[in-house]
Chain A
Amino acid sequence: MALLQISEPGKGTLPHEHRLSVGIDLGTTNSLIASVISGKATILEDTSQTPIMPSIVHYGEQGILVGHEAEKMQLLDPKNTVASVKRLMGKDIKDINPNDFTVQLGGGDGTISIHTQQGIKNPVETSALILKNLKELSEKRLGGEIIGAVITVPAYFDDAQRQATKDAAKIAGINVLRLINEPTAAAVAYGLDKKVEGNFVIYDLGGGTFDISILRLEKGLFEVLATHGDSALGGDDFDHIVEQWVTEDLNAEIPDIKTKQLIKNLSRKIKEGLTEKDEISVDETFAGLGAIKKTLSREKFASLSAGLTNKTIACIKQALHDANLTTNDITGVVMVGGSTRMPIIQLAVEKFIGMPLLNNINPDEVVALGAAEQANILAGNTNDELLLLDVIPLSLGIETMGDIVERIIPRNSTLPVAMGQEFTTYQDGQTGMVIHVVQGERDLVKDCRSLGKFTLKGIPPMVAGAAKIRVTFQVDTDGLLSVKAKELSTGIESSIEVKPSYGLEDKHIQQMLESSFSSAEEDKESRALAEIKVDGKQIIAMIESALEQDKNLLNQDEVNHIYAMVHELTKALAASDRALIEEKTKLLNEATATFAARRMDNSISKALTGKTINTLEF
């Protein structure tokens, strides 16, 4: 007999068509998976009833272990145990410190290779194993196949890291409904998306990482104003403070790893105990060390760890500064991560911001719960409107003269987004304009990806530069781009729709991003060359049209000289020597200086001819 869940009104599903969806908090230290069950976001527990799965993979001789099983191997077989793989996602070996990892890491072509006894592995497939484990757990727990997942990533994750996360999900056989920022997920779990508008601080102190995000919420849309943090600050550091306190009076060296681990565990217990109690007493005897008998009060712990606490407050200050806000602009503070249970942290943050904290949802689970709610909405199981939280992976722009890309929407803009820019005509009497839509970070059209072309026709004939054409780019929540071009004096317009994010292979996006970073210098030179070529051609066009009208102002020698100079410049324009083009342009300008002066005189005298002094207006 199948077990049913309660659906939202009118959203009851047909048999075998349940739209099961999950939210995944893919963390550095731990990962969680949650789903909305009968209208309530619920963490899905594994068989051992533990909701938290360590983000650890062990590549063993016999097989691969993931989660709790892999955690046990961390001490036994550290060389083949991968922890904190999140720190490797979308990174190059140059970006990280291999000494932070117990496994041997190497460089690949732009990625990192993990050397294990099972061969060379990469971060994406390792992360995929964690995701797959979570997926299997959820399908057992929900009694059916999941149609998709919302996976959370840190707000500061760049496109390569987000892409790597998406790829890992793909390998794990998970359909990614959307990647959302961790702080946004936490805000969603607190229902902030439904109720209020304002600026929120999301304070996320996990096991080994600390993140501060400032979010602005407006009309159901979260915008990340600033992020800050410390990727090497977390609950472990507070454990370490207690550990030092525990061992400070010991005269002997700690004899072995096992005793060290015992003291570590004891220290953590003391720290956690201080969440409920004002003081914790220790009375333990360790082989080879003797007895430890002392009491730690909450005040003492606060003063011992003040350095760490103040560091986190300094991060909030910096993030507020980056966001151009003060504590008075803050509407709420959301506490995320198990370490925010510590009363000393809560007090410090509350005192700094000056308002009560949002902390009544389990801080370990809040991100996964928020992600599950988002997934449920995206799967179409509610009557809520979709939340709009995605960003553009690569910049969008159009081609301008000289094959240069003019960027209209920069990458990482939050969806939906609409941005426009005014362009003009390049030649006298130009009546049409080709709008070539491209995507990428490079400056030249040929290095970017072409998405489509369309023509705006019917521009009234005007001199070059007089027409005003407004090009507007709009990208909706599904990444669907529509481009509109409108000539402002006549109101005529033309448009096109393209799918930018689907037009690109994932691999392609990665390559394009990398090449934009490595080719910045080359791009600068190309752009300068292209620009000067455009200038040169424009000057020739101007002179030719002037000669046609006013050739009579010059004698044959002068005409010949100008033509010779035009010829020289034309020749230079065909090649790619920027200095030469510059020089020839200058020469042509000089050669036509007299001509320009005579034309000026001529047009003034024309204007004056036939007019008496009385009809002239001064």
Chain B
Amino acid sequence: MAITLTKKAAERVEKYLESRGKGVGLKLAVKTTGCSGMAYVLEFSDEIPAEDQVFESHGIKIMVDPKSLIYIDGTELDFAKEGLNEGFQFNNPNVKDSCGCGESFTV
């Protein structure tokens, strides 16, 4: 299994990293919180933590710590538009249920 980016998402990340001027890639994780149990964390990463597993998709490095990986393995990160709003979306095959807002989920 792995973590992947869609091409559209990868292009966005590349653009954001470039305008930010630093960073080695993306950090994906989950936090145990939210109305439905778990929540995603999506951050820039300035380093590659030793314990993290590193994936690469369309040239973008994705860092995931082993604990989080259990919950998001197989996830594809997409970039989507909803009306005027746009942003990243987790397509996570492990999710059984998510709260109405979609920001937290259970496995």
Q: Which residues of A contact B (CB under 8 A)?
A: 1-12, 14-16, 37-40, 44-47, 137, 140-143
Nearest A residue to B85, CB-CB: A143
Cβ of B35 under 8 Å from chain A: yes
Contacting pair B102 A1 (CB below 8 A): yes
State the main secondary structure of chain A at its contact with B.
Answer: loop
Is A38 in contact with B43, judged by CB distance below 8 angstroms?
Answer: no
- Asked whether, in the complex, the Cβ of B42 is within 8 Å of the Cβ of A6, the reply is yes
The residues of B that contact A143 with a CB separation of less than 8 Å are: 82, 85, 87
Q: Which residues of A contact B20 (CB under 8 A)?
A: 39-40
- Distance in angstroms from B13 CB to nearest chain A CB is 7
Q: Min CB distance, A34 to chain B, in Å?
A: 13
State whether the Cβ of B26 lies closer than 8 Å to any Cβ in chain A.
yes
Name the residue among B13, B39, B40 with the largest chain A CB count within 10 angstroms: B39
Contact of B40 among A4, A45, A140 (CB under 8 A): A4
Cross-chain contact B84 with A47 (CB below 8 angstroms)? yes
Verify A11–B43 contact, CB threshold 8 A.
Answer: yes
Contact A3 B86 (CB under 8 A): yes
In whole Å, how far is A145's beta carbon from the nearest beta carbon of chain B? Answer: 13
Residues 1-52 (chain B) with a chain A CB within 8 angstroms: 12-13, 15-16, 19-20, 26-27, 29, 31, 33-35, 39-46
Interface flags for B81-101 (1: CB within 8 Å of A; 0: not) read 011111111100000001101
Kindly state the separation between the CA atoms of A15 and B98 in the bound complex, as whole angstroms: 12
* CB <8 Å contact, A15 and B89: no
Contacts of A45 in B (CB 8 A): 84
Contact of B42 among A7, A16, A46 (CB under 8 A): A7
Contacts of A4 in B (CB 8 A): 40, 42, 87-90, 103
Q: Do A7 and B44 contact each other (CB < 8 Å), given the known contacts A40-B15, A40-B19? A: yes
Q: Is B82's CB under 8 angstroms from A3's CB?
A: yes
Q: Please tell me if B75 contacts chain A, counting CB pairs below 8 Å.
A: no
Specify which of A2, A14, A39, A47 lies most central, judged by the most chain B CB atoms within 10 Å of its CB: A2
Most buried by A among B16, B80, B103: B103
Asked if residues A141 and B16 are in contact (CB atoms below 8 Å), the reply is no
The residue of chain B having its C-beta at the shortest distance from the C-beta of A383 within the complex is B46
6 other A-B residue contacts (CB within 8 Å) besides A15-B33, A140-B85 = A3-B86, A5-B88, A12-B31, A16-B103, A46-B84, A143-B87
In the complex, which residues 52-91 of chain B have their Cβ closer than 8 Å to any Cβ of chain A? 80, 82-90
**Contact partners of A46 in chain B: CB under 8 A:** 84
A-side contacts of B99, CB under 8 Å = 15
* Assembled-state Cα–Cα distance A3/B91 (Å): 11
Chain B residues with CB below 8 A from A141, complex form = 84-85
Verify B27–A9 contact, CB threshold 8 A.
Answer: yes
- Chain B residues near A38 (CB, 8 Å)? 12, 16, 87-88
Contact of B83 among A2, A7, A140 (CB under 8 A): A140
- Min CB distance, A426 to chain B, in Å? 59
In angstroms, how far is the closest chain B Cβ from the Cβ of A363?
18
Bound-state CA distance A1–B105 (Å) is 11
Contact of B44 among A8, A14, A137, A140 (CB under 8 A): A8
Distance in angstroms between the alpha carbons of A431 and B20 in the assembled complex: 59
When the two chains form their complex, are residues A2 and B103 in contact, meaning their CB atoms are under 8 A apart? yes
Which of A15, A39, A47, A140 lies in contact with B103, CB distance below 8 A? A15
**Which A residues touch B104, using CB under 8 A?**
15
29 contacts between A and B (CB under 8 A): A1-B98, A2-B101, A2-B103, A3-B80, A3-B82, A3-B88, A3-B89, A4-B89, A4-B103, A5-B88, A6-B43, A7-B43, A14-B33, A14-B34, A14-B39, A15-B35, A15-B104, A16-B34, A38-B12, A39-B16, A39-B20, A39-B44, A40-B16, A40-B19, A40-B20, A45-B84, A47-B84, A140-B84, A141-B85
Of all chain A residues, which has the CB nearest B18?
A: A40
CA distance in complex: A7, B46 (Å): 12
